[in-house]
Each structure stands twice: as C-alpha cells, then as structure tokens.
C-alpha cells in the first residue's frame, strides 16, 4: 500500500467497458500537484463487496467540489506556463484579432453592429513616462457579464464558445484555451481592460493577479511591472509585433513619437531686444517678422504589419516578383533573390500550407555549432500567429539553411501555444517538407531534354545551351550547400539514395569539372560493377598517386575525394544503383578484368616472390599484416594500403588531426598491407639479395623503401628520426662511404688578413681622398647659377 494515507479512485473507462484502478501518491504538503499512476490488471476492491454493501456505500456517499488556491493558481499560470515575457503582446494581439474577426462575421448579417466605426484595426500606444502599454481594437467588445465570465474564469475561452455557437460559419479564430489573456501579467503588475459591447455600457475590468478582480466604470491603466520596463519602448513593441503578429489579417497601428524642427515667431520682448542691438545705419525690413527654430514632438499612427501572408493566396495569383519580395521580408535581406522556392498545401493526416525558400548564399556560420542546439529558419504559424521559430524537429540538421513559413489552422498546441501537443504531428510535417525540399533540389539538378520546334542542328544547340546553364546553376548551388547534402547522406537514412543523386564529385576524367554518379555510370566500361574512388588532401595529389595509376592506364575512371567529409559519405552510402562503391586505397585490390590467365600469372608471381614477401612481412611485422604482389602498380616499386577494416590513409590523417585523437600509436589504425611491383628492378634486386642471405644493408633498404612508400601512399612516418638515420646511411653507401662513418670536424686553413694602412686611399690617377667629419662641417646654400658653374 501507499503508506499512512492512501486514496483509491474508480473511473469508468468508456472504451474498455471496465474499471481502471488509479493509485495516488501519499498526500504531502510539499506536492503542488497530484500524481496519478494507472496500473493495469489490478482487481477493484469493491468486487469483494456484496450487493447490499454496495447499495449502502452509494447511499452514504457525499459529493464535494475540488477546491483551488486562486492566488497560487494564478502564480503558476503566470510564471510557469510561458517561457518568455514577450509572449504577452502576441496573446493580446491575437485576442484583438479574434474580436475583429467576430464582429466582421456578425456584420455580414447585421451591418449596423459596426456603427460609425467601420475600420477594423488594432492600435497600440506606449507611454514611456508612465510605463504603460495600451492595446485597443475595434472588435466586438465585451459586456459587463462577459468581462466577469470570460476574464474572471480561468481557462474559459469566449472564442471557443463563439465557434461552438456559429458552427459551420466561415470564421477563422485563434483563441482556444482561455488562458492567453493572463500572459499580460508576465509584464504588468496591474492590468485594466476597458470594453464596450453594442448591447451594454462601457465597463472596466481590473486586476493585480491576486485573488480578485474588479468590474466598474472607473479609470483605466495598464501599469507595467518594474522588471518589464523594456516593453514600454517603441522599438521593443515594434519588433515584437513584426516577430509574432506581422501577418494578422487586420492592420496593427503603433503610435510613434518623433521630434521635428519647426519655425515659430519670436516673442515681442525678444524682438525688442534684437532691435536695440541693431546698428541704426542698418536697413531694416519692418514688415518681416523674426522667427526661430524649435524642436517639437509629434505623434502619429504607423501601420507595422504592412506585409501580407502571401502563402495563403493561390499559387496562380502570385508572380515571381511577389515571391521574391516576400523572401526579402522573411529573410530581412533586401539585396539578393532566393535560389529557388516551393509553395504547396499539404492535406491528409495534417493539413498545412508552406512556402519554402532556398537562399542563394549559405550562412557564413552554418557549421560553427552544427552539432549543438539546432535552430532553423522555418517559422511555424497557427492562423498567421507565430508559434515558434526554434523547433528542433521540424527539419533535419543538414537543411537548417532553408527559410520559410508553415501555417496551419488545425495544429494541436499546448496551453502556452509555444509547442505542439503531439510530436507525431511535427514528424509528419517534417517528412512532407523534406520531401518537397528534395524535389526542389532534384529539379535543379536534372536536365530537361524537351523537344524544340527547330532544325536538328538548332535544336541540339538550344539543348546544349539549356543543359549548360542548368549545370552551371546547380554547380553554384553545390558550391554553397554541397557539404550539407553530403551530411544528409550520412544522417538521413530514409532519403539517402535521393540525396546521393544530388551529389557531385571531381573525377580523374576531368579534375576541374564536377560529375554525378549517374554520369559516371554512363561513362563506365562494359561489365564494370564498381564505382572507384580515392580520398586525400587535394585532387592534384590524388591524380599522381601510384595507387590509381594501374586503373587509369586501363581506362577506368576514379572519383577524387578531397573534402574531409567525403569518405564518411561514401562509407554510409556503400553502393549506388547496384554499383558498389570501392575505395581503391584499401584492401587486396583485384583488377576489374581479372581472368583465368591473369589469375594464373598472379599465382606464379606469388610463388616466385614468396621468399621476399615472407621475409619482408616478418621484418615489418609490428606494422604490416601482409606483403603481396600488386595488380595496380605501374612505375612505382611499392605502395602501402590499409586492410578493408582498417583506416585508409585519408581517414588516419583526419583522425590524427582531431583534438581528441589518441596518442596510443599506429596500432589503433590497424596494420597495413604492402604491395610490391614485380616488374620493378629494385624489387627484383631485393628478391635476389634475400635469396643470397640478406645483410643489414638490405634490411635498411627494405625499411627505407617501406617508409618512403608510406609517404607516397598518403600516410605519415611513425618515427621520422629513424627514417632519416637509415636514409643517411644508405646515402653514404651509395657514395662509396662507410655507412657508419663517424662525423669528423672539417679542418680548414685560415688565411691571415693584411693589416689596415693608416694612409688615405689613393686612386689610379694619384688623387688622394681624405676623410671628413661632416658633423663639424659648415654648409653653404648654392644658388642655381653657381650650381651651373660648378
């Protein structure tokens, strides 16, 4: 049991047609909420009662209403429900918009309800000195009973009642929970509401968020709290209107104050003083009155939400210029058009309208905190009111650069209207939006070969021009967002193949122009079942790598990966359209045209060179797993590659460059495979030396050759100082010097310099030069005439 006190509650479950058993935790003063836990399969204790006992139990029951500490409830509502104080303005504007929507709907049948105020608008006025904000609308208004009923009852929504009363009516209202109004206590200690309904006099509702409120015809005033004075600034209110309510149906006016210069007549006393100070001889214009410039503050109403919700209009009515103008409003960027956009309406499980833009340029800080808190540039609206612009799950991380809006009339919101009630809905929205974005990318990446009504030659020319333009445009897109697409291949398994179609790579066919997987496959040799690639620091280094020379000589194309993220991308992709992605820098590589004759030759070569391969593997056993006969070398004697499960040279380089990289040594990256070229004379000479009993110099040669191959294959040398020492010894031997010859100090004969002469220097013609101290010299300026004489 629960302990000292235990409560049992029995609730009829309509769907299950049986009783569910709830057990509550022990009642303690520290708990502000009652926690209920549902336990399945527990026997209800009343089943042990007889029918007579049950009837007696029912007759003796007393019914009581739940009690609530109103002040505590208001405190929770105000300080715990909302995450940001600024939400209060959004809620008040939304309430005002609902009031305007209600009166507009009712005025269709009864135009007289509008009276002489036909303008439907919201006006906001700020008094910085008194620290007040006033929000006024020309909507339906509330009677005295409405003020008491709607504002005096927490969680009662007048809007919800209105919707129920006019079911089937064409009206689009925002409110639904009956708590949004109370968010104004986030910013104000005292809130006053003045309202007039056509059927009643004007009344004032006033409260300080305590236990009570007052309704009367007395003074109004919305006094802001001392910790929220920033909301009494015009700039703050203007920013919040644009952020949350820019696309409300009705105009929102803000009363702004500015200072102007004005010419006014001077006072008579000032004019008399000026006349007395004027010279009698001065000619005066007695008809001209003296004026002065003064500064004066003027107030005017300025509409803040001039931009309309363009996404609600049919696509057929919106021009490209309209889309581009709205993009600049949305992105706060007036200088550049978007790369492309898509405007669509989703139906089905979740209905929403969305307008998505792809910026032409990627944000400069896009990858600064890529794996930190995710932020997107997509704004979620419900009935044109901003709910959030920081939903982490609305888009995958690699599409964070996308800008746009999502608007729905039916999304289930939490009470604070800052988050959705059902994350499942968010996932459905995300899936549909990602699909549309990828379709937009695919359209940009594809080439349309539409038939032209021209001659064949002209038709082909037009096709080529159109194709080149499309390729150039997409290459610009790839330059900005290529890394995002690659990260999408890594992170988004459900769209991996679609994203792979969008990727572009450099190739050994043309290292200056990008190519796609589809173009590679189209150029592939008959029967080729792999897409070959090699990753490294740059294209030039990869093109000259000995690893791919054999493939290039036989006409095979190799993709060149120079971006650090490229090899990760290929590892997650594994294959593309039934073509295996093969890293030619790893494993025991077999040539594509491997036939019986070649296999027999390889087998024979393996037998001939086995003494060398066995000896060499044993010599390098600490770092090398095997030494084999290579099928990919042409001119080089040896290369080093990793095993299929080991780190490639590129991945090892990237791993070592990481700040968290382990210093454990080369063992963590796996042992290497050494491939030797049986056609190279150096390898043939080594084979002969091994057969003739290898000496120390042969071992040094083998080690130096291996270490040089490490560098040539893209790896780093584990012990550079040992490599240098071995190289110097072999260099000595090549020069005919003892390989271990000691370093001796080189003796040089020093010639004595002649003593300096005290006589001044003398030229060939006998003229002597004398040293002069310029500090004691007296200088005379020489005129141009004298200079000519000299």
For residue 53, how many C-alpha atoms fall within 13 Å in the half-sphere facing its CB?
Answer: 6
**Residues facing residue 122 across a β-bridge:** 137, 252
- Residue 150 near residue 156, CB atoms below 8 Å: yes
Classify burial at 712, counting beta carbons within 10 Å of its beta carbon; exposed 0-12, middle 13-18, buried 19 or more: middle
Contacts of the segment 417-425: beta carbons below 8 A, 24+ positions apart: 417/91, 417/177, 417/180, 417/382, 417/385, 417/387, 418/82, 418/83, 418/84, 418/87, 418/387, 418/388, 419/387, 419/388, 423/393, 425/350
Return the closest-CA partner of residue 326 out of 347, 311, 312: 311
Tokens for 667?
Answer: 């063992």
Tokens for 590?
Answer: 């077999």
- Alpha carbon 122 to its chain centroid, in Å, reads 35
* 3-class secondary structure, 251: coil
Tokens for 736?
Answer: 């005919």
Backbone phi, psi, residue 211, to 5°? -85, -15
Return the closest-CA partner of residue 537 out of 512, 513, 563, 575: 563
Tokens for 162?
Answer: 């209105």
- Residue 532 near residue 517, CB atoms below 8 Å: no
- How many Å apart are CA 484 and CA 563, to the nearest integer? 12
- Residue 406 near residue 352, CB atoms below 8 Å: yes
What is the helix, strand, coil percentage profile of the chain, to 5?
Answer: 40, 20, 45
- Residue 669 near residue 655, CB atoms below 8 Å: yes
**List of residues 6+ apart from 639 with CB closer than 8 A:** 546, 547, 630, 632, 633, 674, 675, 709, 712, 713
DSSP 694-754: --HHHHHHHHHHHHHHHHHTTPPPS-HHHHHHHHHHHHHHHTTS-TTPPP-PPP-PPPPPP
Classify burial at 502, counting beta carbons within 10 Å of its beta carbon; exposed 0-12, middle 13-18, buried 19 or more: buried
Give me the sign of the Cα torsion angle 8, 10, 11, 14. Answer: positive
Residue list, annotated binding site for ATP: 91, 95, 137, 142, 150, 156-158, 176-181, 417
Q: What is the DSSP letter of 608?
A: H
Residue list, annotated binding site: 91, 95, 137, 142, 150, 156-158, 176-181, 417
Return the closest-CA partner of residue 350 out of 405, 426, 434: 426
Backbone phi, psi, residue 638, to 5°? -160, 145
For residue 670, how many C-alpha atoms fall within 13 Å in the half-sphere facing its CB?
Answer: 17
Give, in order, the Cα–Cα distances in Å from 648 to each of 535, 585, 587.
8, 7, 9
Q: Sort strands 122-127 and 252-265 into parallel, antiparallel or unpaired.
A: parallel
Residue 746: Cβ within 10 Å count: 5
* 3-class secondary structure, 263: strand
Give the largest Cα separation in the chain, rounded. 151
- How many Å apart are CA 462 and CA 445, to the nearest integer? 18
- Residue 406 near residue 378, CB atoms below 8 Å: yes
**List of residues 6+ apart from 424 with CB closer than 8 A:** none
- Residue 313 near residue 251, CB atoms below 8 Å: no
DSSP 456-515: HHHHHHHHHHHHHHHHHHHHHHHHHHHHHHHHHHHH-GGGHHHHHHH--BEESS-TTS-B
**Residues facing residue 301 across a β-bridge:** 255
Q: Sort strands 530-535 and 506-507 into parallel, antiparallel or unpaired.
A: unpaired
């Amino acid at each position: 049991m629960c302990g000292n006190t235990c409560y049992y509650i029995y609730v009829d479950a309509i769907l299950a047609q049986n009783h569910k058993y709830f057990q509550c935790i022990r009642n303690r003063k520290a708990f502000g909420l009652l926690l209920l836990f549902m336990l399945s399969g527990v026997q209800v204790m009343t089943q042990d009662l007889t029918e007579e006992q049950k009837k007696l139990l029912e007759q003796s029951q007393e019914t009581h209403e739940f009690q609530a500490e109103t002040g505590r409830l208001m405190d929770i509502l105000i300080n715990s429900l909302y995450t940001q104080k600024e939400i209060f303005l959004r809620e008040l504007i939304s309430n005002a918009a609902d009031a305007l929507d209600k009166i507009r709907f009712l005025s269709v049948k009864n135009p007289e309800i509008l009276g002489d105020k036909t303008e439907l608008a919201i006006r906001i006025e700020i008094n910085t000195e008194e620290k007040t904000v006033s929000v006024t609308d020309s909507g339906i208004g509330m009677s005295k009973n409405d003020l008491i009923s709607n504002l005096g009852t927490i969680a009662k929504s007048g809007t919800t009642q209105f919707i129920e009363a006019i079911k089937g009516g064409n009206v689009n209202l925002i409110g639904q929970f009956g708590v949004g109004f109370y968010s104004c206590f986030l910013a104000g200690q005292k809130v006053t509401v003045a309202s007039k309904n056509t059927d009643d006099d004007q009344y004032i509702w006033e409260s300080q968020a305590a236990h009570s409120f007052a309704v009367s015809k007395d003074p109004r005033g919305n006094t802001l709290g001392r910790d929220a004075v920033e909301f009494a600034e015009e700039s703050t209110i203007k920013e919040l209107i644009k952020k949350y309510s820019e696309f409300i149906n009705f105009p929102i006016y803000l009363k702004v104050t500015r200072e102007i210069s004005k010419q006014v007549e001077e006072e008579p006393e000032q004019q008399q003083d000026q006349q007395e100070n004027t010279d009698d001889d001065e000619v005066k214009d007695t008809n001209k009155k003296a004026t002065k410039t003064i500064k004066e503050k003027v107030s005017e109403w300025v509409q803040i939400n001039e931009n309309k919700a363009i996404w609600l209009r049919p696509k057929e009515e919106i021009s490209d210029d309209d889309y581009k103008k709205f993009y600049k409003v949305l992105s706060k960027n007036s200088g550049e058009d978007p790369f492309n956009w898509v405007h669509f309406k989703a139906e089905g499980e979740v209905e929403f309208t969305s307008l998505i833009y792809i910026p032409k340029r990627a944000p400069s800080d896009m990858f600064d905190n890529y794996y930190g808190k995710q932020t997107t540039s997509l704004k979620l609206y419900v009935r044109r009111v901003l709910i959030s612009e920081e939903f982490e799950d609305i888009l995958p991380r690699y599409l964070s650069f996308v800008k746009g809006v999502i608007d729905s009339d039916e999304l289930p919101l939490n009470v604070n209207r800052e988050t959705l009630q059902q994350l499942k809905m968010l996932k459905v929205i995300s899936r549909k939006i990602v699909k549309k974005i990828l379709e937009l990318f695919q359209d940009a990446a594809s080439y349309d070969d539409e038939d032209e009504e021209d001659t064949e030659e002209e038709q082909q020319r037009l096709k080529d021009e159109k194709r080149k333009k499309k390729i150039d445009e997409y290459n610009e897109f790839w330059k900005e967002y290529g890394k995002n697409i690659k990260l999408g291949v890594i992170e988004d398994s459900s769209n991996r193949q679609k994203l792979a179609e969008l990727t572009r790579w450099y190739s050994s066919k043309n290292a200056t122009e990008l190519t796609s997987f589809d173009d590679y496959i189209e150029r592939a040799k008959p029967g080729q079942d792999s897409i070959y690639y090699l990753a490294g620091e740059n294209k030039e280094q990869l093109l000259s790598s000995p690893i791919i020379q054999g493939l290039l000589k036989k006409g095979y194309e190799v993709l060149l990966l120079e971006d650090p993220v490229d090899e990760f991308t290929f590892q997650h992709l594994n294959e593309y359209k039934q073509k295996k992605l093969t890293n030619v820098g790893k494993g025991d590589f077999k040539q594509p045209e491997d036939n019986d004759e070649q296999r027999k030759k390889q087998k024979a070569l393996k037998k001939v060179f086995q003494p060398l391969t066995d000896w060499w593997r044993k010599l390098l056993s600490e770092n090398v797993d095997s030494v084999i006969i290579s099928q990919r070398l042409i001119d080089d004697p040896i290369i080093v590659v990793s095993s299929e499960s080991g780190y490639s040279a590129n991945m090892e380089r990237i791993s070592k460059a990481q700040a968290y990289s382990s210093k454990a040594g080369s063992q963590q990256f796996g042992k290497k495979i050494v491939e030797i070229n049986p056609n190279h004379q150096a390898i043939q000479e080594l084979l002969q030396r091994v057969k003739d009993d290898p000496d120390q110099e042969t071992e040094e040669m083998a080690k130096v050759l291996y270490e040089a191959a490490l560098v040539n294959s893209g790896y780093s040398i584990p012990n550079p100082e040992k490599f240098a020492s071995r190289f110097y010894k072999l260099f000595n031997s090549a020069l005919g010097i003892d390989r271990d010859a000691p370093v001796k100090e080189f003796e040089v004969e020093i010639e004595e310099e002649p003593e300096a002469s005290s006589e001044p220097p003398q030229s060939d013609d006998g003229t002597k030069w004398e040293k002069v101290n310029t500090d004691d010299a007296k200088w005379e300026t020489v005129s141009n005439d004298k200079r000519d004489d000299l």
